[in-house]
């Protein structure tokens, strides 16, 4: 089939790094319960949040990183490189899983607080450790806050054939993704979890944002240019974002929520995150279109020093994300010990973000050390000395 997708322009898009970095900061802050600082994150002001942004950018970056490789070197090579990344994600998840439950278990034992095992959904390890650990390796058992990476692993694992087809029929793949999304919502499809229940992030529905990110990267943004630049979207989109903030605030404050009709309040509260409610998707799409409209690829502030720490965290996203999940538990534990004062919440948040930034800078520096420097590269011998004799 003929290639119909449009590959992105060459060169790194700092917008992706910036928003992926800030999504990692937001996820860290949101995972610390009773933390006033997480009022700075978008989940309090609209239907979508950092998880939506993370999944969208993951689909966007996966498409343009592996699309050219698949076109230049074939489906097999592109798929194996993509699955290599899946393996890296899986290994990172297993390491984080082991460290996470070990830390939770140590805290429960050291401070005689067995309730924390139930709070973080690891009590099953006590009653049935072998089965529980096995199900954890199969991604069916997940402690609290360890839901995003398994979703990412599944979406990336099934992505090679999707990417192959999207390069040839991008609009058809986007439509198929929408059909799967609505079918999953209609029939209640989801992956089963262990010991009971289902996945918090339903892969059948959350694939929509991942595929939308890929479609957007491979020509969808150009196709949507007239819509993105339209005046009606600016007006309707702004009104929708205001409405989303009002409905979200209604869910946060009981007295404010009581001002609205019950049918209206119940339509948006609680926010359906597991099945990715349509109002949540629309909210994120409007934000994505607004960002595309008002923040161009060559936006000056992205080159500034103040943006550099966030961009570094986006460029070293995997290690920053994993460390952030662990630090969110540490932060929660510290607040439990310090009675959760506002100053303690501020300190935990600032120190945590600083550690994440340090991890990103170290990761960037470490990668550079793995590459041979110009000094250590062997000098080329003169041509006369290296040329072979005729007939050799």
Tokens of 189: 């499809």
Could you tell me which residue, 375 or 361, shows the higher pLDDT? Answer: 361
Non-local (6+) Cβ contacts of 351 within 8 A are none
User: Does residue 134 lie within any of the structural domains?
Assistant: no
Host domain of residue 332:
16-45+299-361
Query: Which pLDDT tens digit goes with each residue over 112-136?
Result: 888 888 889 988 887 888 999 999 9
Q: Binning pLDDT at 50, 70 and 90, where does residue 98 land?
A: very high
Domains in the chain, number: 1
Can you give the pLDDT at residue 374?
55
What average pLDDT does the segment 75-97 reach? 96
Q: Binning pLDDT at 50, 70 and 90, where does residue 386 land?
A: very low
Q: List C-alpha distances in Å: 358 to 312, 324, 349.
A: 9, 12, 14
Query: Which pLDDT tens digit goes with each residue over 288-307?
Result: 999 999 999 889 999 999 99
User: Does residue 240 lie within any of the structural domains?
Assistant: no
Q: Rounded CA gap, 244 and 257, in Å?
A: 13
User: Does residue 334 lie within any of the structural domains?
Assistant: yes
Can you give the pLDDT at residue 145?
93
Q: Indicate whether 340 pLDDT > 50.
A: yes
Can you give the pLDDT at residue 357?
98
User: Does residue 7 lie within any of the structural domains?
Assistant: no
| Four-residue CA torsion sign, 155, 159, 165, 171 | positive
User: Does residue 312 lie within any of the structural domains?
Assistant: yes
Q: Binning pLDDT at 50, 70 and 90, where does residue 310 land?
A: very high
User: Does residue 24 lie within any of the structural domains?
Assistant: yes
Can you give the pLDDT at residue 312?
97
Residue 52: closest CA among 238, 236, 244:
244
Place of tokens 């009022």: 39
Q: Rounded CA gap, 100 and 143, in Å?
A: 8
What average pLDDT does the segment 229-251 reach? 97
Q: Rounded CA gap, 212 and 18, in Å?
A: 19
User: Does residue 266 lie within any of the structural domains?
Assistant: no
User: Does residue 303 lie within any of the structural domains?
Assistant: yes
Place of tokens 């009104």: 239
Q: Rounded CA gap, 163 and 83, in Å?
A: 13
């Amino acid at each position: 089939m003929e290639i119909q997708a449009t590959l992105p322009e060459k060169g790194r898009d700092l917008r992706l790094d910036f928003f992926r970095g800030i999504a990692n900061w937001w996820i860290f802050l949101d995972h610390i319960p009773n933390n006033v600082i997480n009022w700075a994150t978008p989940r309090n002001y609209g239907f979508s949040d950092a998880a939506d942004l993370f999944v969208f950018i993951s689909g966007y970056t996966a498409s343009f990183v592996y699309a050219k490789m698949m076109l230049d070197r074939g489906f097999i090579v592109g798929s194996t490189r993509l699955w290599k990344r899946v393996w890296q994600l899986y290994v990172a998840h297993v390491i984080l899983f082991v460290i996470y439950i070990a830390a939770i278990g140590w805290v429960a034992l050291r401070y005689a607080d067995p309730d924390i095992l139930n709070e973080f959904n690891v009590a099953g390890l006590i009653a049935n450790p072998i089965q529980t650990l096995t199900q954890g390796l199969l991604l069916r058992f997940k402690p609290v806050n360890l839901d995003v990476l398994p979703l990412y692993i599944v979406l990336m694992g099934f992505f090679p054939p999707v990417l192959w087809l999207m390069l040839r029929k991008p609009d058809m793949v986007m439509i198929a993704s929408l059909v799967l999304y609505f079918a999953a919502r209609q029939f209640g499809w989801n992956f089963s979890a262990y010991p009971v229940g289902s996945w918090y992030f339903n892969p059948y529905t959350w694939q929509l944002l991942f595929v939308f990110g890929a479609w957007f990267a491979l020509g969808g943004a150009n196709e949507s240019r007239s819509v993105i630049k339209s005046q009606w979207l600016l007006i309707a989109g702004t009104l929708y974002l205001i409405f989303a903030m009002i409905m979200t605030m209604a869910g946060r404050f009981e007295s404010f929520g009581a001002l609205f009709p019950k049918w209206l309040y119940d339509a948006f509260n609680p926010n359906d995150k597991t099945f990715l409610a349509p109002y949540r998707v629309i909210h994120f799409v409007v934000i994505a279109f607004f960002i595309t409209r008002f923040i161009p690829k060559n936006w000056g502030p992205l080159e500034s020093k103040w943006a550099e720490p966030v961009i570094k965290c986006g460029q070293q996203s995997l290690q920053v994300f994993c460390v952030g999940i662990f630090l969110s538990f540490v932060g929660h534990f510290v607040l439990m010990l310090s009675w959760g004062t506002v100053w303690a919440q501020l300190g935990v948040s600032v120190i945590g973000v600083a550690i994440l930034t340090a991890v990103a800078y170290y990761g960037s520096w470490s990668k550079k050390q793995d590459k041979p420097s110009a000094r250590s590269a062997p000098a080329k011998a003169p041509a006369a000395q290296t040329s072979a004799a005729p007939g050799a």
